[in-house]
């Protein structure tokens, strides 16, 4: 453990911080004075980010028990946990469901959030003013054709997060769910297995949000006083009315 991490007054942990919403959120929290521990599988990117923001980069695969244990053991205290690691694989009707894609989505979004949250909960409580922010999606609020693998995983991740709210009543931990609509990140590139043209097509013809738009909102949540719990925020681009309807679909 670095001495900066060991002596930090306020520590924020961001999972999936090697790109997109996680990386942007780490920058915002660092600017608010948190020592930010950034976790993901691509350590080279994390290390560059940690150097930039004066934080700590730690390798993390949320689908592996041992990786989560090593990661969370290395965190001496935790004031804020941002459950952000996640994503989608594929877009197919239930009739053609790819079991491996479903497993990836459930392991990463649902069980990944469970593993990290469970391990850090004692430290969040011990902080005296803990905050858990889980980045679910509008896919946690709606279903859409060909999206059941992702929407079911995001609904399950949301159920886990929302169950903690009453379970933790009386404990000094706040819980906020962030439900974004379309954000241009590496999300679609991952969903379509590196197909850049297919990913670009998702965001062409409309103006999506960018990662900073979500990070700024998370920064607002993190800067509320301890007695204020923002339960859920749904954020969409002006060009998107729901998971099923945007200015391209009509």
So which residues are the catalytic ones?
150
Cβ at position 79, least distance to ligand NAP in Å: 21
Give the chain's largest Cα–Cα span: 55
**How do beta strands 35-40 and 11-15 pair?**
parallel
What is d(CA 11, CA 79) in angstroms, rounded to the nearest whole number?
5
Select 152 or 185, whichever has its Cβ closest to ligand NAP.
185
Encoded one letter per residue, x for contact with ligand NAP by CB under 6 A and - for no contact, window 49-68 reads -----------xxxx-----
Write the DSSP string, 189-205.
Answer: HHHTTT-HHHHHHHHTT
H/E element holding 59?
Answer: strand 56-59
Interaction with ligand NAP in 89-128: which residues (CB under 6 A)?
Answer: 108
Number of residues that bind ligand NAP (CB under 6 A): 30
Q: Which residue is nearest to ligand NAP (CB)?
A: 20
Write the DSSP string, 217-233.
Answer: HHHHHHTS-TT----EE
What is d(CA 217, CA 225) in angstroms, rounded to the nearest whole number?
15
Beta-bridge partners for 40: 59
Cβ at position 99, least distance to ligand NAP in Å: 18
Q: How long a stretch of residues is the chain?
A: 250
Cβ at position 112, least distance to ligand NAP in Å: 6
**Which of 191, 198, 80, 207 shows the shortest CA–CA distance to 146?**
191
Cβ at position 247, least distance to ligand NAP in Å: 16
Residue 41 engages ligand NAP in binding (rule: CB under 6 A): yes
Q: Mapping DSSP to helix (H, G, I), strand (E, B) and coil, where does residue 88 land?
A: coil
Select 127 or 151, whichever has its Cβ closest to ligand NAP.
151
Interaction with ligand NAP in 155-194: which residues (CB under 6 A)?
Answer: 180, 182-183, 185-187, 190
Encoded one letter per residue, x for contact with ligand NAP by CB under 6 A and - for no contact, window 2-21 reads -------------xxxxxxx
Q: Residues in the site for ligand NAP, rule: CB under 6 A?
A: 15-22, 40-42, 60-63, 84-87, 108, 135, 137, 180, 182-183, 185-187, 190, 211
């Amino acid at each position: 453990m670095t001495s900066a991490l060991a002596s930090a007054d306020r520590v924020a942990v961001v999972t999936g911080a090697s790109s997109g919403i996680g990386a942007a959120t780490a920058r915002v929290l660092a600017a608010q004075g948190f020592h930010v521990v950034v976790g993901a599988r691509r350590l080279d990117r994390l290390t560059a980010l940690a150097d930039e923001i004066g934080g700590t980069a730690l390798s993390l695969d949320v689908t592996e028990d041992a990786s989560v244990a090593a990661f969370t053991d290395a965190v001496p205290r935790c004031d804020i946990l941002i459950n952000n690691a996640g994503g989608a694989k594929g877009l197919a009707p239930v009739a053609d469901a790819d079991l491996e894609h479903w497993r990836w989505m459930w392991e990463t979004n649902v069980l990944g959030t469970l593993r990290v949250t469970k391990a850090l909960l004692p430290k969040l409580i011990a902080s005296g003013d803990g905050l858990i922010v889980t980045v679910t999606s509008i896919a946690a609020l709606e279903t859409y054709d060909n999206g059941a693998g992702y929407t079911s995983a995001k609904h399950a991740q949301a159920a886990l997060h929302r169950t903690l709210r009453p379970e933790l009543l009386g404990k000094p931990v706040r819980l906020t769910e962030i439900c974004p609509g379309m954000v241009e990140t590496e999300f679609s590139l991952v969903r379509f297995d590196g197909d850049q043209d297919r990913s670009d097509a998702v965001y062409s013809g409309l103006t999506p949000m960018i990662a900073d738009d979500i990070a700024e909102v998370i920064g607002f949540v993190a800067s509320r006083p301890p007695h204020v719990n923002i339960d859920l925020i749904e954020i969409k681009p002006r060009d998107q009315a729901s998971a099923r309807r945007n200015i391209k679909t009509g």
